[in-house]
Amino acid sequence: DIQMTQSPSSLSASVGDRVTITCQASQDISNYLNWYQQKPGKAPNLLIYDASNLKTGVPSRFSGSGSGTDFTFTISSLQPEDIATYYCQHYDNLPPTFGQGTRLEIK
């Protein structure tokens, strides 16, 4: 199975800050990577697919980049409603594994 290593596991930032989360795959997954946002008690919500494509309706402050094994998720200007846990997930092959999550808090 492909292992997805996300960092950091938790992050505290101020409103307006630029926030970056990284995800590393244990082998080349091309660009077969999703980024999700999950708020407490809710289902995950897809934000980014194919590593860098913003899902329709998702604010442009969210972005993704990378290919191969190293990927980055960025919030350009943190908003209070962005408080959530963020997960990466590959879909190169089965099983489609997830990163362990990054819990984002407001400082």
Partner 1 sequence: QVQLVESGGGVVQPGRSLRLSCAASGFTFSSHAMHWVRQAPGKGLEWVALISYDGSNKRYADSVKGRFTISRDNSKNTLYLQMNSLRVEDTAVYYCAKAGGGSSLRIESWGQGTLVTVSS
Report if residue 105 touches partner 1, rule: CB under 8 A.
no
Q: Tell me how far, at minimum, the Cβ of 27 lies from partner 1, in Å.
A: 15
Q: Based on CB atoms, which residue is closest to partner 1, 13 or 96?
A: 96
Give CA–CA dist 47/68, Å, rounded: 20
Cβ contacts of residue 94 below 8 Å, gap of 6+?
none
Report if residue 3 touches partner 1, rule: CB under 8 A.
no
Report if residue 5 touches partner 1, rule: CB under 8 A.
no
The residues in 29-88 that bind partner 1, with binding defined as CB under 8 A, are 32, 34, 42-46, 49-50, 55, 87
Q: Based on CB atoms, which residue is closest to partner 1, 82 or 86?
A: 86
Q: Tell me how far, at minimum, the Cβ of 100 lies from partner 1, in Å.
A: 5
Which residues in this chain contact partner 1 in the complex, by CB under 8 A?
A: 32, 34, 42-46, 49-50, 55, 87, 89, 91-101
